[in-house]
Amino acid sequence: MSALQDWLPVKDKSKVEPDAPAPKKTAPHSTPKPSFPIGYFLFLGGILLVFNFLIPKTQAGFIEYSAFKQKVRDREIKRVEIGPDLIVGFPRSSADSAKRAAGPVNGQPGPGKSAPNIDPDGKKPSFQAIPVTDGGLVGLLDSMGVEYYSRAQGGNAFTRVFFNWILPAVFFMGLWMLLLPRLGGGGGGAGLFALGKSRAHIVEEGEVRVTFDDVAGVDEAKDELKELIDFLKSPAKYLAIGGRVPKGVLLVGPPGTGKTLLARATAGEAKVPFFRISGSDFVEMIVGVGAARVRDLFKQAREKAPCIVFIDELDAIGKSRTNLLGGHDEREQTLNQLLVEMDGFDPRVGVIILAATNRPETLDSALLRPGRFDRHVVVDKPDLPGREAILRTHSRGVKMDPSVELSAIARKTPGFAGADLANLINEAALLAVKSGRERVLQEDLDEAIEKVMAGLKKRNRIITAKEKERVAHHEIGHALMATFTPGSDPVEKVSIIPRGLGALGFTWQLPTEERFLMTEKEMLGRIDVLIGGRAAEEVMFGDVSTGAANDLGRATEIARQMVMDHGMNDRFRNVVLRSPKSGALSGVPQESLGPREYSESTQQYVDERIASIMKDRYTGAIRLLKEKKDLLERAARRLLEKETLSEQEFRSLIQEDALLHHAGAANG
């Protein structure tokens, strides 16, 4: 189950997980049946097989086969017993002159012999050898006048059949029955025959308790899906006018925006059965299993119609086939079967296919054409009103203090998805419990935002006084550049408390309004703020440290976007050099989308232009911070004393500096 389904705070487990399997009921006085120890039986059979076949049978008194033949030539042997795995030669004795009462009859010892391998004198044979393929042995025995006869295989017929046939068959059949249920990954004795069965989880009609009231911040997407719900409830009016409802609806959006929750809410509103399956559940190591599961899924859906089939992570089976280099790939066969099934769908049966993906650019074009997934619903990150609505939805089951302002929290969380906001509320509740409070305060929510954005506080991390001083000037450099750069977001908080894996401090800026576009000057201003920390280090200490690695990476990426994605350069003005597939929705880097579509000289210009932008902005930051050096030093000392400066405290420092400069100018 995807983490996106956990938006709703858990008050009643049956409402959030209606499709959870019910616990099995057992009789109060029933006693468990003893299970047959088949494992012990198989182990014992294996041991018997090892002893019977693998361990060689050893006997004393063996001689080489050539030595045995030589003893026949030397007339030391009077009688030979030829067995399937042993040749026994009986030596001559004083009783040789006495003739036996009867000789061998039909290759078997006569009545004069007391037992096989035993001499008539009662002495044990002294010559034994392992036979080899030799057709001349019988001729040698005839020429030397040696009696010989054959001996049947040891043991009775039942023993031979049991150890050679029955026991191995039982062992391997038992082993097969033991492993068979695990081959298909299912239980209940289905085993290998369940490989082609669909792994979709079926939620019956009326059991989906999630509705559109539980989904917030995606009003446009809900409006798009209401048409499907209306069709499932009353299809007659659509069929009467000759209209056709889309067969498939593709939910597209970044991770955590609520695509899975929307699908569940759609089924809950329509009150129809709901099939939920992930794209990876179709793909199996055995070729043909994925296509069989697709056929079985659509067969079950037709039997349950009207219903909704939801395929999560569609890109697991729907990737484009243009990059496949021939062959019969299992994923390609599964995709082909899905395309065939969607083509053969009768729109009147009332089966709606919903799918979700956060990488639409990787899907095959045949999936996206009209007649298949012909409606695309974008589930984007929420705006300010959407974030506030999501926060109110997730805070229903959390005890909030009346002084909490969720609107202020919504303003402080731009770019947060629904799952991020749900995690934020949960973190705030945990912090309140940790502090010994019974209600969540505003400070808990603020601390939760900092924890989600920058990581957990590391107060026990040992930092030297010199490092702490450098970090303080670094963060104040960011804050001053944000203050004196036109169009930059104001500073909300500055801290030198270590957080996360490697952050020794952070500067938090809070946007004053929702922004969906950025101008060229605003992008350059962001670069100025990012490199302000390193510029402050050079102004105050004369050298730089490794603490600006993350800042430089982000600043360089902004400069690269300006040159390659937005046409903000002199030589290639209004020209896009990077593939449009590498969008913000997928996060796919350009390198993974194939070779570049421009020359080496263009690449050289791009590199030089990015370096020029970074150099110019760094020079400007150095110049500004040298002018504000006194303010930089005074603010860094205050930050070292308090470790954290709020918006009001930092703004008061700026105002004090302005008054000092004004008084100095008046005295001058």
State the amino acid at position 90 in one-letter form: F
Strand order in the sheet with 248-252: 201-203, 274-278, 307-312, 351-357, 248-252, 373-378
State the amino acid at position 262 in one-letter form: L
| Distance from C-alpha of 255 to C-alpha of 252, rounded to nearest angstrom | 9
- Both structure tokens of 51: 């002893």
For the four alpha carbons of 267, 270, 273 and 279, in that order, the dihedral sign comes to negative
Among the listed residues 269, 450, 475, 537, the single catalytic one is 475
From first CA to last CA, the distance across the chain in angstroms is 71
The one-character DSSP state at 348 is: G
| Distance from C-alpha of 315 to C-alpha of 56, rounded to nearest angstrom | 58
Asked if residues 121 and 93 have their Cβ atoms less than 8 Å apart, the reply is yes
- Both structure tokens of 527: 């670069």
- Both structure tokens of 600: 């080496």
| Distance from C-alpha of 577 to C-alpha of 569, rounded to nearest angstrom | 11
136-142 long-range contacts, CB within 8 A, separation 24+: 137/69, 140/69, 140/72, 140/73, 141/72, 141/80
CB atoms closer than 10 angstroms to residue 301: 25
Asked if residues 193 and 246 have their Cβ atoms less than 8 Å apart, the reply is no
**475 among known catalytic residues:** yes
| Distance from C-alpha of 187 to C-alpha of 276, rounded to nearest angstrom | 20
| Distance from C-alpha of 321 to C-alpha of 286, rounded to nearest angstrom | 20
- Owner of token pair 């209004």: 574
Asked if residues 550 and 500 have their Cβ atoms less than 8 Å apart, the reply is no
Residues near 398 by beta carbon (within 8 Å), at least 6 away in sequence: 9, 425, 428, 429, 440
Q: Which string of b and e fits 81-117 if b means at least 16 CB within 10 Å?
A: bbbeebbbbbbeeeeeeeeeeeebeeeebeeebeeee
CB atoms closer than 10 angstroms to residue 323: 8
- Both structure tokens of 233: 């409830």
Instruction: Report the catalytic residues.
Output: 475
